[in-house]
Chains A and B, each alone.
Chain A
Amino acid sequence: MAILPPGVSAESFASAIREFQDAIGREWVFTSDDDLYSYRDHFSYIKDQPNELIPSAAVGPDTTEQVQAIVRTANKYKIPLYAISTGKNFAYGGPSPNVRGSVTVDLKRMNRILVCDDKRHFALVEPGVSYIDLYRHIQANKLNVWVDTPDPGWGSLIGNAMDHGIGYTMGYYRDHFGAHTGMEVVLPNGEILRTGMGAMPASQSWQEYRHGYGPDPCGLFGQGNFGIVTKMGFRLMPAPEHWRNGLVTVPKRQDLIPLIEAVNYLCDLSMCGEPWYGSPLMPLMGNTEFRDAALAFNESAMDRLAASANLHSWQVELQFYGSERTTLANWEYAQELVARKVPGARFTNGESLKTPLTREQIANTTGPYPTNMRRNITQGVPGLGIWYMTGRTERNPNAWNETHIGLFSLVARSGEGILKAQKDFADVARRMEMPSLFPNALQTPVNWYQFAFLMGNGFGLGGGDTSPAGKLKATAKLREVLRENAKLGYGDYRAPPILQDDVADQYSFNDFVLRRFTEQLKDAIDPNGIISPGRAGVWPAPFRSMRGGMRS
């Protein structure tokens, strides 16, 4: 199924391939169907369809200089490129490009850990370095730092940060793009740019002051298409000596408001790690009376039924990193603060453990209370354990989640915001006739970003009709959900290529001035539009007519 880049003749493409081969070696230029199969999105909603987002070729450079050569050749022949690092951005498109026929620039071979400093607490890495790789490097060299890993941990530090990915330890480190410490980028014309103090040739502090001097262009490279990042630094959390957790529950629905106020206060004073919200009432969803009350958002009935079941409405698991004494002091203060704000709040001590936890301690699930907290990731231990959610399990022995897709909306970081979002999302889901029980009145946010709440609104469609027609219908529903959510003020933070134009459309303030501004810059810096055209809805002039093309 050989295809060509859009608007490129077979002769030009053959010449470009020869130039790629000369630049990086024949064995690292892939054009056969067999090789290119692995560059498709394994979870694509449009697999095997005529518009499936597949590349025309893939190239695997080993050095920044080779990336420069690839970019120059692409400019010469006006071939769109799509850069991937470890290619594991599953649920968000995997390794697939935005434009069918792009040449995928596979940076996996650039997998060097250039610096990992456990006194100044940063690492400088290439794009092919995964969280698992860095974790193993830290372990092998007995370094006194942690990684803040996404889940699963086979992704690239750079790739994850580039798509605004997240982790699960302390606030600052969970925002992976926010925790970067400077980058090296191959620009669309093939030049190398270094940001922050890296712009100073003799700098001794590239990873310590990312702003440098003057305007900082780094934001253009995150979820953007202004260059190919070939090195990037990250702030690393110093290894704490102790970890402790504890459970807080509050009785009534409206108690969510003061509970979140208290937890926000603790988080923003850096007194606790990621809080894990939930509802102890989930088991009651099997009870018809409660379920009817929940679906109708009848708060007084929900409170009455919760009380009669001797259950609280909300819970948050808190975790603390530091010394034994500071974690105890912070947990005691958390209890005091919540008790002051929420009458009837209950507190349960969790575990108090010296770090690093042993494998047995991490695997232990018999804590003082039933926990939702996922242990490996709170301890900065990357792995693939979570992949059971997509595959064959005892509960799901004959099918896999082939429509694995991620959509999460930003909601206000307050109890009022969550209670409103629950109703809004449930209304939209009902109108869309979505089959899942989610969203519902018990859905709680994730606090992946310290200063923001996200709530899922897309996973619920997985596992339904997986025929091509079923996937097409599901995609149309997702687009509608995104449109309806935008009317209510909820924007998404990340999306697979088939939905990136739809998410970009949510950000329409002042007649799309943000997009117009970005595309004006894009046209100036990348006049041939060769770097990832269409990424995050940013279409350069030569490809702009393709905007919205995935909707047809």
Chain B
Amino acid sequence: MSGRGKALVCAALAVASWASCAHAQDAARGKATFDHTCAPCHGAGVGDDGRAMLPGTDALRIKYQGSLPALLEQRTDLNADAIRTFVRRGTWSMPPFRPTEVTERDILDIAAYLRQSSGAARNGR
């Protein structure tokens, strides 16, 4: 391989490594935001008053009847556009979240986290 070729490969590896690292950072931030803002309603775990699930998780279980996972962290179909729509417009009893609560950057980070978490769920990890 020529010197120029080696340089290009190194550059490509560096970009891939940077992208991977950036994605991991995005996903880590997304997890923190998800845990803070989304998980109290859409997380795993039991609900109040003897309910088996938290309200958001239970509502999606009833809605999808097994055709989609009740847990958002297992969903593979929630990209940033979908998340933005639900966050900014709300749906049913979920009210909209304001840009001071969930920023555009937060939405992208949550999308990165859900890509990661749903991949982990699919692989049984």
User: Which residues in A have some Cβ–Cβ distance to B below 8 Å?
Assistant: 28, 30, 34-35, 37-40, 42-43, 58, 60, 86-88, 90, 94-95, 106, 108-109, 128, 132, 153-154, 359, 363, 365, 374-376, 383-388, 390-394, 397, 400-402, 404
Given that A388-B55, A391-B59 are known contacts, is A37 also in contact with B96, CB under 8 Å in the complex?
yes
Contact-residue bracket for chain B: 20 to 34
Contact A38–B99 (Cβ < 8 Å): yes
A28 to chain B: which residues have CB within 8 Å?
Answer: 100
Contact A106–B55 (Cβ < 8 Å): no
A95 to chain B: which residues have CB within 8 Å?
Answer: 98
Considering the complex, give the chain A residue whose CB is closest to the CB of B63: A392
Docked CA distance A376–B46 (Å): 12
Contact A401–B100 (Cβ < 8 Å): no
Considering the complex, give the chain B residue whose CB is closest to the CB of A87: B98
Residue from B55, B97, B101 in contact with A384 in the complex, judged by beta carbons closer than 8 Å: B55
| 8 A Cβ contacts from B76-100 to A | 88-90, 92-100
Q: Main secondary structure on chain B at its contact with chain A?
A: loop
* Least distance between A38 CB and chain B CB atoms (Å): 4
B97 to chain A: which residues have CB within 8 Å?
Answer: 38
Contact B93–A391 (Cβ < 8 Å): yes
Nearest 9 CB-CB pairs, A to B? A385-B48, A391-B93, A38-B96, A42-B95, A365-B50, A390-B93, A392-B59, A108-B100, A388-B55
User: Which residues in B have some Cβ–Cβ distance to A below 8 Å?
Assistant: 36, 40-41, 45-51, 54-56, 58-59, 62-63, 88-90, 92-101
* Least distance between A228 CB and chain B CB atoms (Å): 15
Contact B62–A393 (Cβ < 8 Å): yes
Residue from A109, A154, A384, A400 in contact with B92 in the complex, judged by beta carbons closer than 8 Å: A400
Q: Main secondary structure on chain A at its contact with chain B?
A: loop
Residue from A58, A109, A374 in contact with B48 in the complex, judged by beta carbons closer than 8 Å: A374
Contact A392–B88 (Cβ < 8 Å): no
B100 to chain A: which residues have CB within 8 Å?
Answer: 28, 60, 106, 108-109, 128
* Least distance between B45 CB and chain A CB atoms (Å): 8
Considering the complex, give the chain A residue whose CB is closest to the CB of B96: A38
Q: A38-B99, A391-B56 are in contact. List 10 more A-B contacts (CB 8 A).
A: A28-B100, A35-B88, A38-B88, A109-B100, A383-B40, A385-B54, A387-B41, A388-B59, A390-B93, A392-B93
Contact B92–A30 (Cβ < 8 Å): no
Residue from A108, A132, A363, A386 in contact with B98 in the complex, judged by beta carbons closer than 8 Å: A108
B41 to chain A: which residues have CB within 8 Å?
Answer: 384, 387
* Least distance between B95 CB and chain A CB atoms (Å): 4
B89 to chain A: which residues have CB within 8 Å?
Answer: 37
Please, could you name 17 A-B residue pairs with CB atoms under 8 Å apart, sorted by A? Answer: A37-B88, A38-B90, A38-B96, A39-B98, A86-B101, A94-B95, A365-B50, A374-B48, A384-B40, A385-B49, A385-B51, A386-B48, A387-B41, A388-B51, A388-B59, A390-B93, A401-B93
* Least distance between A32 CB and chain B CB atoms (Å): 10
Among A109, A376, A388, residue most surrounded by chain B Cβ atoms (within 10 Å): A388
Docked CA distance A132–B43 (Å): 15
B49 to chain A: which residues have CB within 8 Å?
Answer: 365, 374, 385, 388
Contact A132–B48 (Cβ < 8 Å): no
Docked CA distance A98–B62 (Å): 37
Considering the complex, give the chain B residue whose CB is closest to the CB of A36: B98
